[in-house]
């Protein structure tokens, strides 16, 4: 299955400036070319020409655009091409943009069931799980809009309280403002936690068929453990062309940077 809608967004701060001139003719033409590439990629996918589809979807990413739909389609094309690691990597990237996308969640679950390594994740405290569910229930864009909306309503309640001469209306605005202040604090904490989570979450997926992690960032060092394509791990350090990784079961080792893709 593929998704034909393409919600475009710029992947670097420098390109945000282009939004200001989006409606100028050159950018409209460029946007149309992106849509055309997406359509061509979908056509190749439907014809089961998956490598060509991968090339076109990747070309869209190289132009600086990304979306959950694009990563979903790219992941599917890789999955059909029997490149499990790349498929999981792109599903994970799509979920980073839209954590609650059911299609991405389902396909990632299917892809993970095909991996060789079945690592038991270290258990988390129940309140940590609950908090992660809460802060990831909305996308960053949705959280931002919610924060702005609540803040605007809070300011409106303050304005009504200060400007109104109606005692009943003042009481209502005071009560509403108190409730909105509490909601504003909660949403602000959620937003800050989500931003911190996005910045501190440094994960990757192995794209090599298999590799042996090393004890130190050197090919001559001892072996730590063997892992296979598609496994997800945390990046915790980097030395030249090597990265220190941590598996979900707590094991730590070093891998060359070209053996994995960062989510």
CATH of the domain at 101: 1.25.40.10
Q: Which residues contact 178 (CB under 8 A, 6 or more apart)?
A: none
Half-sphere exposure of 258 (CA within 13 A, CB side): 1
pLDDT of residue 32: 60
C-alpha distances (whole Å) from 263 to each of 15, 44, 93, 116, 117 are 20, 25, 5, 20, 19
89 with 13, same domain: the answer is yes
Q: Find out whether 89 and 261 touch, Cβ atoms under 8 Å.
A: yes
What is the token pair recorded at 19?
């939004």
Residue 133 C-alpha from the chain's centroid: 15
Same domain, residue pair 193 and 217:
no
Enclosing domain of residue 226: 203-262
φ/ψ of residue 226, rounded to 5: -105, 130
Q: What does each C-alpha distance from 27 to 15, 22, 41, 56 come to in angstroms?
A: 12, 6, 21, 20
Residue 17 shares a structural domain with residue 82? yes
Q: Confirm whether 132 is domain-assigned.
A: yes
Q: Which of 179, 200, 221 is the last residue of a domain?
A: 200
Per-residue confidence of the chain (263 residues) as pLDDT tens digits?
A: 767 554 444 444 344 444 444 444 454 445 568 889 999 999 999 999 999 999 999 999 999 888 999 999 999 999 999 999 999 999 999 988 887 789 999 999 999 999 999 877 656 677 777 887 787 777 777 889 999 999 999 999 999 999 988 999 999 999 999 999 999 999 999 999 888 777 666 899 999 999 999 999 999 999 999 999 999 999 999 999 999 999 988 899 999 999 999 98
At 131, list the tokens.
């908090």
pLDDT tens by residue, 174-191: 999 999 999 999 999 999
Is residue 135 included in any domain, yes or no? yes
Residue 108 within any structural domain of the chain:
yes
d(CA 205, CA 247) in angstroms, rounded, equals 11
Reported as a single tens digit per residue, the pLDDT across 187-198 is 999 999 888 777
- Would 44 be classed as within a structural domain? yes
**Which pLDDT score, from 0 to 100, does residue 52 have?**
96
For residues 169 and 208, membership in a common domain is answered with no
Both 14 and 87 in a single domain? yes
Domain total in the chain: 3
Q: Is residue 121 part of a domain?
A: no
Q: Has residue 43 been placed in a domain? A: yes
- What residues contact residue 146 under an 8 Å CB cut-off, 6+ apart? 138, 187
157 shares a domain with 71: no
In a domain, 134, yes or no: yes
- Taking alpha carbons only, the member of 116, 30, 45 closest to residue 75 is 45
The per-residue pLDDT for 50 is 96
Phi/psi at 153 (5° precision): -65, -35
Q: Evaluate whether residue 118 is within a structural domain.
A: no
């Amino acid at each position: 299955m593929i998704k034909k809608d393409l919600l475009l967004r710029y992947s670097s701060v420098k390109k945000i400036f282009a939004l200001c001139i989006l409606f100028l003719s050159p950018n409209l033409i460029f946007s149309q070319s992106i849509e055309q590439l997406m359509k061509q990629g979908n056509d190749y996918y439907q014809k089961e020409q998956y490598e060509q589809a991968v090339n076109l979807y990747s070309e869209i990413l190289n132009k600086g655009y990304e979306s959950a739909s694009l990563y979903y389609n790219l992941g599917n094309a890789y999955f059909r091409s029997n490149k499990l690691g790349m498929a999981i990597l792109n599903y994970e990237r799509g979920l980073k943009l839209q954590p609650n996308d059911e299609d991405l969640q389902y396909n990632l679950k299917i892809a993970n069931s095909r991996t060789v390594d079945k690592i038991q994740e270290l258990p988390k405290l129940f309140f940590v799980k609950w908090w992660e569910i809460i802060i990831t229930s909305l996308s960053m864009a949705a959280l931002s809009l919610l924060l702005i909306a609540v803040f605007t309503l809070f300011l409106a309640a303050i304005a009504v309280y200060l400007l109104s001469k109606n005692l009943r209306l003042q009481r209502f605005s005071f009560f509403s403002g108190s409730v909105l202040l509490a909601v504003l604090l909660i949403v602000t904490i959620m937003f800050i936690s989500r931003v911190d989570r996005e910045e501190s979450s440094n994960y990757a997926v192995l794209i090599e068929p298999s590799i042996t992690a090393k004890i130190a960032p050197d090919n001559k060092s001892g072996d730590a453990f063997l892992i296979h394509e598609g496994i997800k791990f945390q990046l915790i350090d980097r030395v030249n062309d090597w990265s220190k990784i941590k598996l979900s079961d707590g094991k730590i080792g070093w891998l060359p940077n070209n053996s994995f893709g960062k989510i």
